[in-house]
Structure 1
């Protein structure tokens, strides 16, 4: 009897909701997080901010931690969302190579934040990407991809992460509980 492969959950990119897609892909659940849940986290963070800026007409759309229309959530929303699910986040020290990252059971997954250029370089921004081990294989669950990409080996993961570091990206390690 052949072993049955687990289906990999993969959300595709829509507007600038890559953080929402990244979280759902990371947890391998369609509704692990919703737009409403992330908006609520962003509002809570705004209320807790001691340096809250004054209101302007643009602040109706451009909030401190996200864009109301397109999404585009920041790292504070990511960390708060993960903490709600009992995960902790460690920033990888970019002075160290990716080979220093242990891909062991303490690691729930990896979130990358990479610089992107779109529309012929006219628009510059950043994009969230989830890397996750499902069963014994690691996957790149980039919402810009048409389907998940299964890494061939750990060297391929390390090469990707070293490339992220060299282009000014960030690596966040999502840990299972307290580290």
Structure 2
């Protein structure tokens, strides 16, 4: 690491554990959350669900809030995990565009941004969604996508807004992760 260069934690993609990687990238630390942590959260959500469906043989692997083997966690797991760390999730109203997000805020309320982006692979035959974290670290916004070989530093907040507007248009969901007020 060069002297004066910011050290950024960046966890790389493995199977469908992008939510796990996004959370660890958001909190900038290895094992802030583990597969076991997220599986436990998903299991608790299932047990506590008053409207849970009936059991089938496929329920062993394909659970309501995740896949037992590969991950693929849903929004409910994200929200519950962040609540454990005293964070709040605010779903950004896509009709307002990225210009309504305070990326220059001085009150440190915005911890980061978690995106849920549509993904198409194999010539569009396979469709899914992917969790991605954007985080402000020592004066710069970074895209910490676990599919990237390294974090991508945005040149300024205007570039972040343009990126966000582009992915909102493409069907992404933008979730603002807020620090609770002290």
Q: 1:137 aligns with which of 140, 148, 170?
A: 140
Q: Quick one: distance in 2 between partners of 1:75 and 1:12?
A: 20
* Alignment-derived partner of residue 68 in structure 2: 68
1:49 and 2:34 matched: no
Note if 1:171 corresponds to 2:180. no
- Give 1:3 deviation, angstroms: 6.5
* Structure 1: runs of 5+ lacking an equivalent: none
Distance in 2 of aligned mates of 1:56 and 1:178: 43
Deviation of 1:4 after TM superposition, in Å, equals 2.2
Cα 1:178/1:58, change in 2 over 3 Å: farther
TM-score, structure 2 normalization: 0.95
User: 1:9-158 alignment to 2 at 5 Å?
Assistant: 9-103=9-103, 104=105, 105-158=108-161
> C-alpha deviations, 1:47-68, integer Å up to 9, x for none?
1111101100110000000001
1:164–1:54 CA distance, 2 compared to 1 (3 A): same
The 8 Å contact of residues 133 and 143 in structure 2, kept in 1 or not, is answered as yes
Q: Distance in 2 between matches of 1:67 and 1:106?
A: 32
> C-alpha distance in 1, partners of 2:32/2:123?
34
Whole-angstrom CA distance in 1 between matches of 2:92 and 2:181: 16
**Contact 2:109/2:181 (CA < 8 Å) preserved in 1?**
no
> 1:159 maps to which residue?
162
Matched-pair contact (CA < 8 Å) for 1:92–1:173: yes
- The whole-number CA distance in structure 1 between the counterparts of 2:75 and 2:57 is 24
Distance of 2:132 and 2:24 partners within structure 1: 11
Give the Cα–Cα distance (whole angstroms) in 1 for the partners of residues 28 and 6 of structure 2.
11
User: Structure 1 length normalisation: TM-score?
Assistant: 0.96
Work out whether residues 65 and 74 of structure 2, in 8 Å CA contact, stay in contact via their aligned partners in 1.
yes
Which runs of 5 or more residues in structure 2 are unaligned?
A: none
Shift of 1:118: 1.0
